[in-house]
Amino acid sequence: MELFFLGTGSGVPSKERNVSSLVLRLLEERGTTWVFDCGEGTQQQILNTNIRPRRIEVIFITHLHGDHIYGLPGLLSSRSFQGGETPVTVYGPRGLKDYIDISLELSGTHLRYPLYIEEVEEGELFEDEQFIVEAVKLEHGLESYGYILKEKDQLGELQPEKLKALGVKPGPIYQKIKNQPRTVLEDGRVIRREDVIGPAKKGRKVAILGDTRYLPHLEEVLKDSDVLVHEATFAGDEEKMAYDYFHSTVKQAATLAEKANVGELILNHVSSRYQGDSVEELLEEAQNIFPNTTIAYDFYQHPIKRI
């Protein structure tokens, strides 16, 4: 599980940062890629990476401001020409379906794969054997959401020494024992999986928020996230401006991370007014409140490790 930041700026592209787009690579977990927002130029950014659009399974749009969606029709279209045949589901606020449908229709675009568009409300979006994904409503003037991904706990590792002690020789039977609660051996003995595996592997929790004012009440839903990705459009002394423009400061993001007891904070959506040394000053402001903070930059990769 790895976060790959394709665009980390706010509003308009700059020489240092493209507009919003973030990829969550789940290659080991499910062989796919999830995309969060798709600002203008996302395709171009992808060309500078080893990300494969045909692996895209889900796209989450936080809100419908242009710097978060203008790259979406092009990415969906190009995926057809790059060998993408598997279905893609796009989640996002009301109006997203009209935007996509009209863009594809007026441009005469015909996709070679099934496309599903789900307009979201706050609450659980889906659950499968690996993940639960929830949408949480934010405050940005325009309808805006954050997405919380909860990985389910996984089985612990099979303990070969325990099986050998029981006289079970290595072979295909080991995988069979791990795959089912009870296994009957050829000699009639019953092996219970729970007796021969190690502790369960705790699932990871990742929170990726869209543009928002500082919302202290999010502390509960974000609690104990392994990683929180939060916008940091303004410096700490610009709190009034951040409020007026429905954004957050670096200090507010760090405060929320500290109160929610998250493992790591990654700041994103940095205004183009901050360049060079001033970005380091933003980082210092945040780390004074929440030391385990990173400011993302374009093409920054961040593995999400199991604790």
Whether 140 has a binding-site annotation, put simply, is: yes
3-state class of 230 per DSSP? strand
Pairing of strands 145-151, 205-209: antiparallel
Phi, psi angles (nearest 5°) of residue 68: -115, -10
Structure confidence at residue 238 as a pLDDT band (50, 70, 90):
very high
pLDDT, tens digit, 9 for 90 and up, residues 142-177: 999 999 999 999 888 899 999 999 888 898 999 899
244 is catalytic: no
Structure confidence at residue 272 as a pLDDT band (50, 70, 90):
confident
Domains and CATH numbers, the chain: 2-154+201-303 (3.60.15.10), 160-195 (no CATH)
Longest dimension (CA), the chain: 75
Q: What percent of the chain has pLDDT over 90?
A: 83
Q: Tell me, what's the pLDDT at 110?
A: 94
pLDDT, tens digit, 9 for 90 and up, residues 25-73: 999 999 999 999 999 999 999 999 999 999 999 999 999 999 999 999 9
207-215 average pLDDT score: 97
- Beta-carbon contacts of 155 under 8 Å, excluding residues fewer than 6 positions away, are 178, 193, 197, 200, 201
67, 101, 187, 224: the active-site residue: 67
Whether 211 has a binding-site annotation, put simply, is: yes
Whether 230 has a binding-site annotation, put simply, is: no
Whether 302 has a binding-site annotation, put simply, is: no
